[in-house]
Amino acid sequence: MENIREPLKVVIIGGSLAGLMCGVALKHGGHSVQIIEREGNERQSHMAGVCLGLDAEVYLAHHDRLTQNFSHRSNRLQTMSDDQPLRIFVNILRDITSWDTLYFRLRSCYDGYASPFYPSPPSPAETDGPAAYMDRHEVLNIRREDEGNMALKVLDCETREVSSIKADLVIGADGPDSFVRSKYLPDTKRQYVGYIAWRGTVPEADVSAETRDVFKRSVTLQLMHLQHCIVYTIPGPNGSLEPGERLLNFLWYTNESEKALEDIMIDGVDGHRHHNIVPAGHVRPDIWAARLHEARRIPLAGPFLEIMTKIRSPFIQVITDFCSSHSAFENGQVLLVGDALSLFRPHTAFSATQAAFDALRVLEYVDHKISLEEFEEKVLRFARLHWAQSSWWGAYYQRRRPVAILLALRYWAYCGVDRIKSWWNGGDPLLRTSVNRVVPYNS
């Protein structure tokens, strides 16, 4: 990398949040960027919330050229049960948006893609590099050529034609099932952690005023024995934040054996077995009916139960995680970022923040502000620290106390290493947290 003149020609494999964050930052840095994405431009809604942590805020402050608000502020995590009133669980600041809202915002900043979310994309700056988004294309191979360039073999998923693309730098941002990671770290694979999430969204307008009032300002938990529910507010259609138009995002985590998954993950339309997600519209009616019966038997607290009964298109997510041992290959000309590098459990809602942190470090690396060794040390330390944190939180909610204590000790050990390395290097700790920052509500 040190011998390559700027601007670089960068190919990013994967056009989701991590790929777009890298793409926008590198484009703004004057580099030529090409994103290769297997899916189409109009992505199916993930119906998922995204938490914007400190690094996401820093990233957006530098690279977001749109001005309208797109997130909902929650100041605390609160709990409730069927027989107890609301109470504060922990004070924690969370700016929450949806995957769709953030994806289309990044697309508008990257290649000027107009969508119902953002029909008027920002104009590019004179110093921006060229940016292209190749949807419906798949990378089949990556290899290093004798002259030092990286060569990619790319399949057009529509025409089935295969072409070759050369790049100075390749970034693997292709998610938990990363092709790039499978090539360089074939033994690092996502692992089932023993529980799943029953999920769905409901428009605020579809629930009672009393239920809306419970969830309007805070992320809300119901803690049960070895399981828990969580509900929070995300933007509605086309990113609307208007009260009544927003969505209530529902998740219920339950422990399930591998044998139980063989039945739960069967598609309700064509009967095949899904591995990680049964998408909306494909959950078998009998499976969802049994879960509703269980919700009434427990019972879930009234507001949670009202939301669950009004979910029209539920989906099921298998919870998996992993953490890679390396993030740079081919002498720094191939990098791993985001969920391709490390997959956190969803309890900390830190996936997008990891993507932002990695994108900022990538830009520092290609601009020679940090060395390859510094880049890899930072992104791996960030990944291990927050992966350990999410594992501990998951064990606290879903496992027995001895397991949770062991994972807490591992996490605190990583925290100690983080503080020592940060002090030694003269930098800030990489642990990102807003716990106990108390900000009162206006009403």
DSSP structure string for 185-196: -TT---EEEEEE
pLDDT the model gives residue 432: 73
Whole-number pLDDT of residue 381: 97
Least confident of 66-80, 123-137, 197-211, 290-304: 66-80
3-class SS of residue 10: strand
Q: With bands split at pLDDT 50, 70 and 90, how would you rate the model's confidence at 6? A: confident
pLDDT tier for residue 438 given thresholds of 50, 70 and 90: low
DSSP state of 427: S
Gyration radius of the chain's alpha carbons = 22
**pTM reported for the whole predicted model:** 0.95
How many of the other CB atoms lie within 10 Å of CB of 428?
12
Averaged pLDDT for residues 223-231: 97
Task: Give the model's pLDDT for residue 217.
Answer: 81
Separation of alpha carbons 333 and 84, rounded Å: 56
* Residues 210, 212, 218: CA angle, nearest 5 degrees: 115
Stretch among 299-313, 382-396, 417-431 having the lowest mean pLDDT: 417-431
Interior CA angle at 357 toward 128 and 335, to 5°? 75
Q: Rounded distance, CA 180 to CA 336, Å?
A: 8
* Secondary structure element (H or E) that encloses residue 28, with its range: helix 17-28
Question: Rounded mean pLDDT of the chain?
Answer: 94
Tokens matching residue 55: 């690094």
State the Cα–Cα distance between residues 359 and 109, nearest whole angstrom. 15
Residue 236 CA to residue 252 CA, distance in Å, equals 21
**Strand spans (E) along 14-83:** 32-37, 49-52, 72-81
Over range 215-235, report the average pLDDT. 94
pLDDT at 437 over 90: no
Residue 3 has pLDDT above 70, yes or no: no
